[in-house]
Amino acid sequence: MASRISTTMDAAAFVAPAGGGEPGTVGDIHASDPVITVRGGNVHYGETHALKNVSLDIGRNEVVALIGPSGCGKSTFIRCLNRMNDTIEGARVTGEFRLDGQDIYAPEMDVVMLRTRVGMVFQKPNPFAKSIYENVAYGPRIHGLARSRSELDDIVYGSLRRAGLLDEVKDRLDRPGTGLSGGQQQRLCIARAIAVNPEVILMDEPCSALDPIATARIEDLIDELSQNYAIAIVTHSMQQAARVSRRVAYFHLGMLVEVGATDKIFTNPSHRLTEDYVTGRFG
Amino acid sequence: MNTELQPPDRNLASAQVRQIVEAGLARRYRRERRFRAYGLLSVVSGVLFLGFLLATIALNGYSAFRQTKLQLDLDLDPVVLGLGDGADAGVLASADYQAVVKASLGRLFPQVVGRKERRELNALVSASAGYILRDMVVAHPELVGRRITAWLPADDTVDMLFKGRVGRGPDAGGQLNQAQLAWVDELIADGRIALRFNTAFFTNGDSREPEMAGIWGGTKGSFFMLLVTLVLSFPLGVSAAIYLEEFAPRNRWVDFIEVNINNLAAVPSIVFGLLGLAVFINFFGLPRSAPLVGGLVLSLMTLPVIIIASRAALRAVPPSVREAALGIGSSPMQMVFHHVLPLAMPGMLTGAIIGMARALGESAPLLMVGMVAFIVDVPSTPLDPATVLPVQIYLWADSPERAFAERTSAAILVLLGFLLVMNMAAVWLRSRFERHW
Ligand SMILES: Nc1ncnc2c1ncn2[C@@H]1O[C@H](COP(=O)(O)OP(=O)(O)O)[C@@H](O)[C@H]1O
Ligand SMILES: [Mg+2]
């Protein structure tokens, strides 16, 4: 979907939301058993206020889809959850971000530890320029998760199996991961992420570079993974959001406009902006 | 009259469009052809100049790879050699071999008797003939007392004449007198003069005698110097680049350092030579003319080149690689050493080789640290006095003997060969290790 945003309309619509009250998030931001809690999250990139006062929970074993027009801050939001924004110069994050009640931005929070607990899958498949085996083994190896070669083998095979890739690659584990097809590469990245057994997996448009068949496989995979992991997935596809997620969060110009159960958002959104977006009036 | 605007006739309009485009097309194509012609012209002229340069050097230099030699029957008579009976190695090494050579020439031309004439006759053979004979006998002491036939290098004046580099008279550059010319003619008629592969050119150090001068000293000097340069500047340069690119905070100090590194890359190389003289020789008291000092000086010169190339190589590694590594919980250090560095390495190595190639061709800063001295011995460590190939070329180009001219060109050919090999190595590295991500 192309991004054709009419800012004047948006701004007007936002100042006066459906109910006519204060601007804020419509719907219930809470999850019953939250693993991630964000309260009043703000991100500035230099002068740009990219994320504005966002509060949201992500529950255990829950898939939350983040949707919204391009540039509305979806990536910015999930990158706050594993502090990937730390690497961006001039990025400033304020507000409360918690993983299992621990402050993600507290000085005593170790970033390396955080990122083993909050894994990430990126938009463009980015396997390491190493063998398929090494791609998956890398995380467990640097963290010292396997005490022996056979333990490492178990982790690698298990992760590849859970990522639905093992059958396709089991006789070429020593070949470079970059030689796989796009969909296989993305599943390899997922296998790499789950090899360190994170609590949360962040996915930033994981299927946007893939064909429909590869996309369908990843969606099935997300479904399976949701039994064990909390997943936050950014997507531009309503169908995808509808298929894989339990809750949907709609972002607009850095604000979290509406959160709700997936079927509610797609069939009966409360906010006009959400309605405009999900009905395809802009996006 | 119908004033209502008619919708434009679509067919007509597109016909017009076609016409306009067609009219413009010819011009566009002309422009493109002209541009291509200019490009081709510059490429062709560049290639022509290069070809001309190479052809000139090759034509001037190829003959130095062969040396004119004289076939002499040598009587290794212990009496002539000045040996008593039980001769040991030490005595053998200090015997008078030149006398054997002279005696052999005397037998060939018994009619030559006067002192002056004899001296002129002996001048046809290289002054080094005796040393070559000595080495032969020391290696095979059983030769003493026998008569052997050997090809010994002719003097450079004969060499030049035989190769046709000079004519017969003084007007044509020849340095042989009538009598000498007659002897040479006689030797040629006897088949006692021939061109042989010039091993000495590749195995000897420098010499005052062109027929004895070789590039091995300069080559080894260059090798030691490059070794020092590589060992110092590559690790330093790569570490500096990694620090600046991956770890350094962005602030005024780092910017200042960056600007200075870039400036350093543009400093004329002779300045580094002056610095080397002041710091390494005068202050630290390191030996003059040593490849170690030359290598230190060239490290200063190569360091910024390597830093700049390495930083470019690091920057060319896509951010997705870094994100992937960080996303799985690598520390910044692990990210750099496990993922970024392997991808950047070909670029860094290419930069290093190009820096090395520059250092190999450098002579100006080395003049400042004394590597311009006339050194006959081939260095065996980086601390021995030595010269390097470009300086050797400079020294020979400065020598008056006609025979040094062809050796200058031949040494240039060898140097160009080394440079070519290094640049090919850089290209090979780039294609061999370039990975796709
Ligand atoms: N590294 C950055 N530096 C400056 N501005 C950025 C950077 N990344 C994103 N932004 C800005 O932040 C806003 C939100 O971006 P992003 O989170 O990437 O949007 P989304 O993922 O929803 O398309 C955009 O206006 C974008 O221009
Ligand atoms: Mg995005």
Domain range annotation of chain A: 2-126+200-278
- Whether residue B55 is contained in a domain is answered as no
Query: From the candidates B247, B328, B337, B437, which should be mutated to test the interface with A, based on the most A CB atoms within 10 A?
Result: B328
Rounded Cα–Cα distance for residues A103 and A220 (Å)? 32
**Is there a single domain that holds both residue B399 and residue B427?**
yes
Pick the last residue of a domain from B198, B230, B253: B198
Phi, psi dihedrals of residue A37, rounded to the nearest 5°: -130, 130
Is B30 inside any structural domain? no
Based on the domain organization, do B191 and B227 belong to the same domain?
Answer: no
Question: B310 and B339 share a domain?
Answer: yes
Say whether both B260 and B385 belong to one domain: yes
Q: Which helix (H) or strand (E) holds A55?
A: strand A48-59
Contact B295, B226 (CB under 8 A): yes
Neighboring chain A residues of B327 at a CB cutoff of 8 Å: 82, 84, 115, 119-120, 122, 193
Q: Which of residues B166, B198, B230 is at a domain's end?
A: B198
Number of domains in chain B: 2
ipTM of the complex: 0.85
Question: Across the interface, which of B323, B343, B436 has its CB nearest the CB of A122?
Answer: B323
Instruction: Name which CATH class applies to A2-126+200-278.
Output: alpha beta
B203 in any annotated domain: no
CB contact under 8 A, B328 and A127: no
Check pocket membership of A88 for ligand 1, CB cut-off 6 A. Answer: yes
CB pairs under 8 A between A and B: 64
Strand order in the sheet with A48-59: A48-59, A34-45, A91-99, A102-103
CB contact set of B243 (below 8 Å; sequence gap of 6+): none
B334 neighbourhood in chain A, CB within 8 Å: 142
Asked if residues A185 and A121 have their Cβ atoms less than 8 Å apart, the reply is no
Please write the tens of the pLDDT for every residue from A142-186.
998 888 999 999 999 999 998 889 999 989 999 999 899 999 999
How many other CB atoms are there within 10 angstroms of residue B381's CB atom?
11
Q: Is residue B57 part of a domain?
A: no
* CA-closest candidate to residue B106, choices B121, B92, B93: B121
Closest Cβ opposite residue B320 in set A113, A124, A192: A124
Integer angstrom CA distances of residue B279 from B236, B269, B274, B360, B367: 19, 15, 9, 22, 15
Evaluate whether residue B43 is within a structural domain. Answer: no
Question: Domain check: are B252 and B368 in the same one?
Answer: yes
Are B430 and B350 contacting, i.e. CB atoms less than 8 angstroms apart? yes
Looking at residue B225, which CATH number applies to its domain? 1.10.3720.10
Digits of tens for pLDDT over chain A (283 positions)? 344 444 334 443 443 344 333 357 888 888 888 999 999 999 999 999 999 999 999 999 899 999 999 999 999 999 999 999 888 888 999 999 999 999 999 999 999 999 999 999 999 999 998 999 999 999 999 998 888 999 999 999 999 998 889 999 989 999 999 899 999 999 999 999 999 999 999 999 999 888 888 899 889 989 988 998 999 999 998 889 999 999 999 999 999 999 999 999 999 888 899 888 988 876 5
B301 and B425 fall within a common domain = yes
Same domain for B179 and B253, yes or no, is no
Distance A49 CA to ligand 1 centre (A): 9
Give the domain extent around B70: 63-198
Q: Assess whether B291 and B353 both reside in one domain.
A: yes
The per-residue pLDDT string of chain B (437 residues; one tens digit each, 9 = 90 and over) reads: 455 566 555 566 788 888 888 888 888 999 999 999 999 999 999 999 999 999 999 999 999 999 999 999 888 887 777 776 555 666 777 788 888 888 888 888 888 888 888 888 988 999 888 888 888 888 888 888 888 898 999 998 899 988 888 888 778 777 888 888 999 998 999 889 999 999 889 998 898 888 889 999 999 999 999 999 999 999 999 999 999 999 888 889 989 999 999 998 889 989 999 999 999 999 998 888 899 999 999 999 999 999 999 999 999 999 999 999 999 989 999 999 999 998 998 889 989 998 999 999 999 999 988 888 888 888 888 888 899 999 999 999 988 888 899 999 999 999 999 999 998 988 888 887 765 54
Chain B residues closer than 8 Å to A84 by CB: 323, 326-327
Domain edge (last residue) among B133, B164, B198 = B198
Question: Chain B: nearest CA to A8, how far in angstroms?
Answer: 35
Q: How far is B14 from chain A (nearest CA, A)?
A: 31
Name the residue at shortest CA distance from atom 11 of ligand 1: A50
Neighboring chain B residues of A189 at a CB cutoff of 8 Å: 324
**What is the gyration radius of the CA atoms in chain A, in angstroms?**
19
Query: What percent of chain B has a predicted confidence (pLDDT) above 90?
Result: 46
Give the angle B276-B279-B285 at the CA atoms, nearest 5°: 105
B54 in a domain, yes or no? Answer: no
Do B235 and B183 fall within a single domain?
no
User: What pTM, to 2 d.p., does this model score?
Assistant: 0.81
Q: Identify the residue among A120, A189, A203 best suited for mutation to test binding to B, counting B beta carbons within 10 A and taking the highest.
A: A120
The residue to mutate among A43, A75, A124, A234, having the most atoms of ligand 1 within 8 angstroms of its beta carbon, is: A75
Same domain, residue pair B290 and B376: yes
DSSP state of A252: E
Q: What is the pLDDT of residue A162?
A: 87
B293 Cβ contact partners less than 8 Å away, ≥ 6 residues apart: B276, B280, B281, B286, B287, B369, B370
In a shared domain, residues B177 and B251: no
Domain-embedded: residue B17: no
CB contact under 8 A, B320 and A84: no
CA–CA distance, B194 with B192 (Å, rounded to integer): 7
A166 lines ligand 1 (CB under 6 A): no
For residues B301 and B68, what is the distance between their CA atoms, to the nearest angstrom?
Answer: 42
In a domain, residue B12? The reply is: no
Are B275 and B135 members of one domain?
Answer: no
- Strand A247-252 versus strand A63-67 pairing type: parallel
Q: Decide whether any atom of ligand 1 lies within 6 Å of the A50 Cβ.
A: yes
